[in-house]
Structure 1
Amino acid sequence: MSEATTVPVARSRTPDTSNHPTAAGVACTVLPNLAVWAVLPPGADLNAATIARLRQQIGERVGDRRAAVVLHLNGIASVSRTARAAFAAIDTVSSWALVGESPVDRLLGHFLLGAEFHSARAEYFTSDREALNWLAGPDAA
């Protein structure tokens, strides 16, 4: 079996990242409630290097605090097993709200959610509103 789960790139609406600072394709912005909004570029292959950049971007925005993260998966191409493990090990995240639109996004999002999260809750959503409501809910960390 191959190292990555690869599927064709889905054509979907992706949030505008033109005003967001980026580091090698990962765009992160701090929301007013100190949650982090992270967007991966369409066609991205999630591997250990991409997750390392995501970890760095989150750390630069929240410092030593733990934060909730809304992660947009719209149109990513693949997720490797090493990326899944590295994703679940990011210890500065208290909650992950994964957002996607297509069946491919859902498949890859649930592959990410299959990792062993040690200190964060995680859920998949099809809208930003649902994701933000979940993060603000009574079980918010």
Structure 2
Amino acid sequence: MDPQQSPDGTDSGISSLSFDESGVLRLVWDRGVDIDAPQAEAAMARVNETAGPDRVPLLIDMATTSSVSRSARAVFARPCAAAAIALLGASAVDRVLANFFLGVYKAPCPTKFFTDEARARAWLAEAADGR
């Protein structure tokens, strides 16, 4: 299935979703996307579908995300196939979005915000193994 399309054929807001060579599932949002509940639902469904029966480390590149609605944040607070989630951003706005989510909602698995991809990956390797 095309990552840009949700199961009902609407725009999911996802630019790409795939495993990298180290086994990390990487989700990249479209530039400037305003994530709403249907897009959050579609993203979670795609993560679960792609991961299959396994719980996997998930790297979410949110560097170009414009906003995340309250209803989308509630969707993201539900468990999914992720064993651990690293939120990768690039700006103070990204950090505020991530910290707001982490402060208001209980994340379904270990979740942390990073601006450095190498640190995010190192943390994911440890957190996904339950260390």
Equivalent pair of 1:85/1:116 in contact (CA under 8 Å): no
Equivalent pair of 1:73/1:109 in contact (CA under 8 Å): no
Q: Cα distance, 1:90 vs. partner?
A: 3.3
Q: Distance in 2 between matches of 1:45 and 1:105?
A: 13
Change in 2 beyond 3 A, CA 1:46/1:90: farther
Higher relative contact order (CA closer than 8 Å, sequence separation 6+): 1
Which residue of the partner structure matches residue 31 of structure 2?
Answer: 42
Matched position secondary structure for 2:99: helix
TM-score by length of 2: 0.82
Segments of structure 1 that go 5 or more residues without pairing to the other structure are 1-19
Q: Distance in 2 between matches of 1:86 and 1:65?
A: 20
Is the counterpart of residue 117 in structure 1 residue 110 in structure 2?
no
Which residue of the partner structure matches residue 74 of structure 2?
Answer: 85
Letter in 1 for 2:122: N
Q: Cα distance, 1:117 vs. partner?
A: 2.1
Equivalent pair of 1:22/1:28 in contact (CA under 8 Å): no
* Alignment size in residue pairs: 121
Q: Distance in 2 between matches of 1:86 and 1:132?
A: 24
TM-score by length of 1: 0.77
Larger fraction in helix? 2
Which residue of the partner structure matches residue 101 of structure 1?
Answer: 90
Segments of structure 2 that go 5 or more residues without pairing to the other structure are 6-11
Which residue of the partner structure matches residue 54 of structure 1?
Answer: 43
Of stretches 52-61 and 94-103 in structure 1, the one that deviates more from structure 2 is: 52-61
Q: Deviations over 1:29-78 (max 9, x none)?
A: 11233321000112111111111121122122111211111001112111
Which residue of the partner structure matches residue 10 of structure 1?
Answer: none
Q: Distance in 2 between matches of 1:87 and 1:138?
A: 18
Letter in 2 for 1:117: A
Query: Identity percentage over the alignment?
Result: 29
Q: 2:4 aligns with which of 13, 22, 27?
A: 22
Aligned Cα root-mean-square deviation (Å): 1.9
